[in-house]
Amino acid sequence: MSFIDLLAGALGAVVMLFIIIPKVDIEQMEELEALAAAEFEIQSLDSLLLMVKSSVPDSDYTAIIEQTQRLQMTIGNLRKDVNELQGRLSQKIQEKKQLEQQLSKLENQNEACRKKVSDLQKRQTKSEEKEVPEEAPLAEKQPAEEEDFSEPIDTTPGIGDYQMGFNPPLTVMIEWESKDHWVHLYMKPKDSNFWCFYQSKRRVTPFGKWARFKFKKTPYEAIIQEKELTQGEYEIYAQLDKPRSGGETIIQGFVAANPKEGVPQMIRFGDIKVQSTPPPYHRKATGDALLGYLTIQDNKITWDPVKEPIIQ
């Protein structure tokens, strides 16, 4: 390679770098590799100048040296610009990583918020379907309309039975003739949702106890006050549970008081027609199962019937 060719190549590299650097961006960084090649050619030019110094006139040699120095200065400025661009590129890459991390974090938070909203919507839908009334009784879960409202009655000998001749302070009893029917008896304080009836969790309450008597052979249900008369006003219900729908039957019954002090009393209900209804605590109950109101006061009982006895 001649001296003139080498000098022209160095000048061409410098011109090319002046064109590239103002336009460089992240995608064109490989273009800057030309700078390293230009620096190498300048170093080669210095070595060549030393070799031809004795054969070149002093004036020409001095001009070439000055031109070479200007080229070196230009390349130094270009190297400075390259270093600055590389610093900016590194900073932009770091900022990009931080933004990607923030974006990922925000996407995770957004997904979590969507899941919470979906869960809340599902809970709201279930709550609207459930429609649990305020102060609902602590009974079993309310079944579907066509399902069995009752639970099997415990008939194990000796569990909850009373011997013949036992006469509790208060007895409320209903009975009927056909074993193809079954009627449930309910008792609760007036204007409350605290029930006493056949279900195991509700057989024993402060105001009553669901009872079975060994001497009774016909179908019946009874609720008693076992130790003493508990003063108050009570609601008495009789619900025909079987057959499930469209059925009716005739029941008889009474309420009897045997206070420790005072005169024993018995009030008979007469023949009363009852029909198939949901349990009185059920959200679809209509109140048709209410027999009447029992008041216990001063060791005496009074009965205010809602269902009047039928005349046969």
pTM of the model: 0.49
pLDDT in tens, 144-183: 444 444 444 444 433 334 433 568 999 999 999 888 889 9
CA distance 14 to 261: 125
Residues of the chain falling short of pLDDT 50: 22-23, 27, 132-164
**pLDDT of the residue at 158:** 35
Residue bearing tokens 């909203």:
117
230: nearest Cα among 260, 254, 253, 201: 260
Each domain of the chain, given as residue ranges in start order, spans: 3-124, 161-305
- Cβ atoms 169, 257 nearer than 8 A: yes
CA distance 93 to 84: 14
- The torsion angles phi and psi of 228, rounded to 5 degrees, stand at -160, 165
- The torsion angles phi and psi of 191, rounded to 5 degrees, stand at 60, 35
What residues form DSSP beta bridges with 224?
171, 209
For every residue of 160-223, DSSP letters joined together read SEE-TT---SEEEEEE-S-TT-EEEEEEEETTS---BSSSGGGSEETTEEEEEETT--SSEEEE
CA distance 198 to 55: 128
Q: Which residues contact 255 (CB under 8 A, 6 or more apart)?
A: 170, 171, 172, 173, 236, 266, 267, 269, 294, 301, 303
What residues form DSSP beta bridges with 293?
235, 304
End-to-end CA separation in angstroms for the chain? 138
Task: Report helix angle 33-52 to 58-130, nearest 10.
Answer: 170
232: nearest Cα among 262, 207, 199: 207
- CATH code for 161-305? 2.60.40
**pLDDT of the residue at 145:** 47
